[in-house]
Amino acid sequence: MTRLKWVEISTSFPLKSVPSLLQEKKYIPEINFCGFELLEISRSAVTAKFIQEFKLSDVQIDPFGKEVSSTITRYSTTIFTILEINGRKLMRIAQPPRTLRDLVLNISSALDGDFFAQEIRIDVIKFLDYFKGKVQLGHARVRSALFVDVPLTESSTGRVLVDSSRDAIFDFNKCLKGGRLDKVTLELVNEFGISPLEITYRGSLVHDEWLDDSTLHELESHIAFQLNKNGSLE
């Protein structure tokens, strides 16, 4: 499964300047402990890898009571793409780590501090409508839906996870009202079988490695087109 996450970014540097700026912070083994490696450059996108090197030291006692120390080198890599679509700059992160702090701080350093990133908030229903409208992807079936801030009483709210063999959103609306749709899991049924797809309110998507470049570009155009000034999808 492949997880993608989008954040909106802002910088006064034009996209064509980004590759050279990242190249100045290139990762060089044995010299620096983190940096970038350029992977692909086009007129509308720059894809790079952020590499971090960690030295882990360990001390053990051998059978003769002598201390034996060892050092293990481990690496963390994050592939990201900075792109500009419809006047908006987005950053797509593949297999994002639990926190984007180190990635954002190092890109900001490479761009002389002229870099800002913020999470987007998407309307999951509009994402669903997009995929349901893509006939070539197959029939979209909503297998599960997570709703948050669902009013239960005058003084309480809850999180409700609905699993359905038909349409989880439809089944939720039959029994409950209100709340916010936080996450859905789709099944796209077509001639090739069933492809799972997960969409979240915080701008992430999980797919079974079926999303081709053309569909991805169209999806990102859809995101950029709908972004309002507050960084949320209208």
Give the per-residue pLDDT at 200: 92
Model confidence over 128-173: pLDDT tens digits? 887 777 655 557 789 999 999 999 888 999 999 999 988 999 999 9
How far is it between the farthest Cα atoms of the chain?
A: 71
Pick the CATH number of 2-59+66-119 from 3.30.519, 3.30.160, 3.40.50, 2.40.50: 3.30.160
Give the per-residue pLDDT at 129: 81
Dihedral of alpha carbons 197, 198, 202, 204, sign: negative
| Among the listed residues 101, 81, 99, the one whose alpha carbon sits nearest the alpha carbon of residue 91 | 81
Assign 54 to helix, strand or coil. strand
Is residue 74 exposed (0-12), middle (13-18) or buried (19+ Cβ within 10 Å)? exposed
Give the per-residue pLDDT at 41: 96
pLDDT at 234 over 70: no
Give the side-chain half-sphere CA count within 13 A for 72.
Answer: 5
Give the per-residue pLDDT at 233: 45
Task: Please name the residues in contact with 155: beta carbons below 8 A apart, sequence gap of 6 or more.
Answer: none
Model confidence over 86-139: pLDDT tens digits? 888 999 999 999 999 999 999 999 999 999 999 988 888 888 887 777 655 557
Give the per-residue pLDDT at 191: 64
Q: By the 8 A CB rule, do 39 and 27 touch?
A: no
| Exposure letters 120-159 (e unless 16+ CB within 10 A, then b) | bbbebeebbebbeeeeebbebbbbbbbbeebeeeeeeeee
Q: By the 8 A CB rule, do 150 and 176 touch?
A: yes
Give the per-residue pLDDT at 168: 94
pLDDT at 66 over 90: no
Centroid of chain to Cα 35: 20
Q: What's the chain's length in residues?
A: 234
Band of pLDDT at residue 229, cut at 50, 70 and 90: very low
Break the chain into its structural domains and give their ranges.
Answer: 2-59+66-119, 124-201
Model confidence over 181-223: pLDDT tens digits? 999 998 877 666 677 889 999 999 888 766 677 778 878 887 8
